[in-house]
Structure 1
Amino acid sequence: LMGGKRIDISPGKDSVPINPNELQVGIFQADLASMMEVLSGIEIDLNSILDDVKVTLSEINSFFTDEQIQKDIKNSITGLNTLTTRLNKTLIENQENINSIAKNTKEITEDTKELISANKVSINSSINNLNSILQSSDSLVNKLNFLADETISGDNNIGKLLYDDSLFISLTKTLEQTKEITKVMLEQLKNDGVKVDATIF
């Protein structure tokens, strides 16, 4: 271990002979110098890690020895204790109300179940009636849409009255003629009566 460099050649056990023209790779066995070199590298890494640990511990120590931080931590713990005490007191004082609310909720749930169970037939009938009404409404809407389409396209009387100009003009003319005839008849009634020229066969 303390000596210089050396080469050991051990007899092989392979059935294939070694080729003297090829480069043979051996196995390096670490000596004291190489071991010290490795340990030296590890020592450097350990020193660096220890320095980092010292800095971290120093910062943690500084953090916990800071009076303001200690005061804040104490205040936080005191506030948490106070809050816990108040919460426990509130729960104790309202235990009866909480139990009453839970009981009422349970009773309401049971009553609701009984109500639904007792009126199941009526509820189903109401739902069926509602479905029928919805279907009838759909049918009515379809009919109204069909009527509106016919009206817009002028395929029914309302559409013709609204959109057929010739029919509108004819109706207007007829109304004017009716108005004139009515005016003449009123004038004749005011005077000598209605004058009628008729030929009797």
Structure 2
Amino acid sequence: MTETGKFTPKKVDITLTPDFNQYTFVANVKVHVDVSGSVKDFDFKISKDLDVERVSFIQASHIFRGNPNSLGHVATIKFDKKTETVHVTLLTEINAESIKEGGYFEVEYNGKIGEKGANKGLFRLDALTFDTNLKNGNAYALLPVLADVPVLVTLTVITPYRAGVDTKLDAGEHTDAPGGQLFANEFNSGETKIKLSDLHFKINAPTFLKLD
């Protein structure tokens, strides 16, 4: 009989692209995991107000010249909006051997930026500033939460030029985003693990350049 296992998150990569005109966002979150036993099904929490488009599982099959050769598949999902839980069924079982070179599940989703006073998830402070509040069990209002345990975190907020992102995470490389006209504001927690509920960032709309 196959041992029932579970995933434990160890790193979370967050990419968020807000729309300052429509007050919406699209997101891609990769949750890197360790596994005990064998896992074919698992659940994560996410707000009923978010639209989950796809969940995939990616695993490194082997390392070639220092780079992982990855295999991935799209999982089957059932979103119970009453319990705000997504049940994921993988194509194949995952165990420690199959992801010994690394493995993560990837969640692609979108949502609306909350109105002023919402005070949870991602919401408007005013027309030009978006804020986050993930504390007190609210992390799943913005992010897929497997378990709110300390993890390494990377955060990429894709904005137009001259927008700003404020966070206590360490600044990483800020680069041009694919597609042009957008900028990837990159941050990370370094070697420090944090809970998703302790993550905080603020997004400021682009400022106009004044020419004298």
What's the TM-score, normalizing by structure 2?
0.14
Larger Rg: 1
Higher fraction of strand? 2
Could you state the TM-score of these two structures normalised by the residue count of structure 1? 0.14
User: Using CA pairs below 8 Å that are at least 6 residues apart, which structure has the higher relative contact order?
Assistant: 2
